[in-house]
Structure 1
Amino acid sequence: MFAWQELLQKQPAVITIVGMAKNVGKTVTLNYVQKTIHKEGYVLGLTSIGRDGETFDALTNLEKPGIVVQPGTIVATAEKMIVDNSVWDCLQVTNILTPLGKVIILRAKAINKVVLAGPSKNSDVKDILTCLAKWGARCILIDGAFDRQSSADPLVSRQVILACGATVSRDLAELILMTKSRIEQLTLPACDGFYQNLFEKYQAKVMTVKAGIVREVSVHTALMSPSEWHKVLNEDCDAILIKGAVSDSLAQALLRQSGTPLIIVQDGSKVFITTTLWRQLRARSIQLMVLNPICLLGLTINPTYPGGKGFDAEVLLQEMGKALAPLPVIDIMREAKY
């Protein structure tokens, strides 16, 4: 599916799998990637951001596919998630707490199902990654929380696989447009070194830059109203640096301006702008860049949704593939790739 040999040259490779909504095939993707890498002889590590892998979907009450671990896989999950200790070797009990107990490090003795409940703080997730690597994991997969784009934070994992499907939209054209917009946000280009240094040097949530001179804006959060952003944008500046999430309010303020500065955010997982406003920003050539770029390895698609037929699988693959080329688009269930 992907060039695993190239990815796994780094020690270890860390890949996050993120879904655009529930029931888009994120767990199926996770299981497929695990099985594929395991067949190639690599020791896998597995954890999650928050809890995932429920037996029944919280919205539909339908049974969900479980997370299946391969023999020898090293898993980090909360201690209360382990029902049968006989199928695991306990390697380590960490001091990282979750609502379901301490995170423990286990090695699967055989093929087994697991419910993942990892830490929600990125700093704790990074500590877990260190533990998994210490116990020999060559490739670590992170199960990103449902519809939580921040799971793709490159400070945790710079490599991401995105899962989408018919539950995002029942209209094919809209689904493609929504997916394309999300991918454009996740893969925003990196800013140059000058602005990277400013991010490290200054602590303010919002900064304006004019001819190399920085002004720190006195705000507690980057989630300001359109009118508050309008005041910042009215300043004569070359760029605005933002620490934290940006939403539709910034987009609305940008679209009201006749001329706009360069907008630089920490990474693409911090951009939460709806498809309509995002397309308008693109049409106006309003430029956004990031401090930390994300490497999107590919997109997996699920043509079905619970209780419904969904899309023709081959039509979805072909249309999504054409729209997103050269990004790999994969139908996991059919093992078909555009």
Structure 2
Amino acid sequence: MAGGDCVGVVGLAKNCGKTTTLNALIGAAAGRKIAIGITSGGRDGELCDAITGLPKPPINVPRGALIAMADFTIGRTSCQLEIVQRLGIHTTAGEIVIARARSSGQVEVIGCNRASDLVRAISQMQKLGAELTLVDGAAGRTFLASPDVVGAFVLAAGATLDTDARGIAEATRMAVHIFTLPPPSPAAASRARPAMESGTSLLNRAGGRVEALPWPTLLGREQRLVSMLDPGDLGLVCARAVGDGLLAALTSWLARRRPDSPAFTVVAADPSKIAAGDRTVQAFESAGGELRVLRKAHVVAVTANPSSPSGETLDPAGLVIEISKQVEEMPVFDIAAELSASGGVMR
């Protein structure tokens, strides 16, 4: 990683091992004498999960690390912290501050819950000397999938996603697919950018015609939108979230078109705007639909946690291999078992 990089660790569900992954990255950076900043897109590092009550690994920080955190949690650390800057960003857990660890230890981090605030916190840590900023992506914080917030991603998959390795691997494949969706054609992108900046959704009609839609959001208007479509229409620029209802309505419409009809492309700003579930996305694409994003995310690795909160554990090597088959050449790691694979082959 180059200086100034920001890496997000995103769990595909709760208890997928993202904090374990974060700690491994922290340890690797500290071992290379890289100055690090740490924050969260929610709440991480607590001893017990706030929802399930199950024990969780704390976040380990080395001496000198910068942490952007709510000041309420400063008293819950095992290391000495010095507040170096208050950001004036307020959450239910107090003001977000940047603290420097004067000794190594463990911390609980409650971070920013809005993308704009998180970007500001990351920027301030970089100005204070962080060469690598690590963001723990709390479950459900979809804004962390935006490349405007984080430059590169590590996805944490685990046994909470499914009961067998194949199901976990398929869920991981779909997550990587969404994070790395390709851009639209240059011509389509040039039309989409100004529309999205103004919050306007567009219909791309046959013959190159473009029609601006009158609604600020398509939520609740999916059937009205479909009733406006003609068989030769080419796509939709969605200025806000692309949800299950929208893709399901478009899938039904696509099924009624002639088999030789052109592809119908839905363009979103970035992966954080794809709010539809895996099955809905698969059905839309199988019906001839295409998903595209103006800014795709950069996924650099996947980690695998074979243990579920229920106590059941899958074969670690089998899970790593199965996931690596589905994500092609992307490296897959089981940090606890010290295993890695790529393309279905153990390293």
- 1:217 correspondence with 2:210: no
Q: TM-score, normalising length from structure 2? A: 0.89
Contact conserved, 2:79 with 2:104, CA < 8 A, in 1?
A: no
Counterpart mapping for 1:147-158 below 5 A: 147-158=140-151
Where does residue 272 of structure 2 map in the other structure? 269
- 1:52 correspondence with 2:48: no
1:285 to 1:327, Cα distance in 2 relative to 1, 3 A: farther
Q: Distance in 1 between matches of 2:288 and 2:322?
A: 25
SS of residue matched to 1:157: coil
Contact conserved, 1:204 with 1:218, CA < 8 A, in 2?
A: no
Per-residue deviation, residues 121-160 of structure 1 (Å, max 9, x unmatched):
1111111111101110001011112133332111111311
- 1:159 correspondence with 2:152: yes
Q: Distance in 1 between matches of 2:274 and 2:98?
A: 33
SS of residue matched to 1:91: strand
Q: Which residue among 287, 305, 308 is the counterpart of 1:302?
A: 305
Per-residue deviation, residues 56-98 of structure 1 (Å, max 9, x unmatched):
1234322111111111111110111101697122211111111
Q: Distance in 2 between matches of 1:58 and 1:90?
A: 26
SS of residue matched to 1:46: strand
- Report the CA distance between 1:291 and its aligned residue: 0.8
Counterpart mapping for 1:1-338 below 5 A: 7-8=1-2, 11-83=3-75, 87-202=80-195, 203-210=198-205, 211-224=207-220, 226-234=222-230, 236-256=232-252, 257=254, 258=257, 259=261, 260-338=263-341
SS of residue matched to 2:178: helix
Q: Distance in 1 between matches of 2:283 and 2:10?
A: 25
- Report the CA distance between 1:174 and its aligned residue: 2.0
Contact conserved, 2:78 with 2:107, CA < 8 A, in 1?
A: no
- Report the CA distance between 1:274 and its aligned residue: 2.3
Gaps of 5+ in 1: 1-6
Q: Distance in 1 between matches of 2:108 and 2:237?
A: 39
- Report the CA distance between 1:113 and its aligned residue: 1.1
Gaps of 5+ in 2: 342-347
- Report the CA distance between 1:215 and its aligned residue: 1.4
Q: Distance in 1 between matches of 2:35 and 2:212?
A: 47
Where does residue 344 of structure 2 map in the other structure? none
Q: Distance in 2 between matches of 1:283 and 1:20?
A: 23
Where does residue 3 of structure 1 map in the other structure? none
1:99 to 1:113, Cα distance in 2 relative to 1, 3 A: same
Counterpart residue identity of residue 23, structure 1: N
Contact conserved, 2:248 with 2:284, CA < 8 A, in 1?
A: no
- Report the CA distance between 1:212 and its aligned residue: 4.3
SS of residue matched to 1:82: helix
Counterpart residue identity of residue 245, structure 1: A
1:209 to 1:290, Cα distance in 2 relative to 1, 3 A: same
Moved more, 211-220 or 226-235: 226-235
Percent same amino acid at aligned positions?
A: 28
Q: TM-score, normalising length from structure 1? A: 0.91
Considering only aligned residues, what root-mean-square deviation do their CA atoms show, in Å?
2.0
Q: Distance in 1 between matches of 2:171 and 2:221?
A: 24
Moved more, 284-293 or 123-132: 284-293
1:49 to 1:171, Cα distance in 2 relative to 1, 3 A: same
Q: Distance in 1 between matches of 2:57 and 2:140?
A: 17
- Report the CA distance between 1:162 and its aligned residue: 0.8
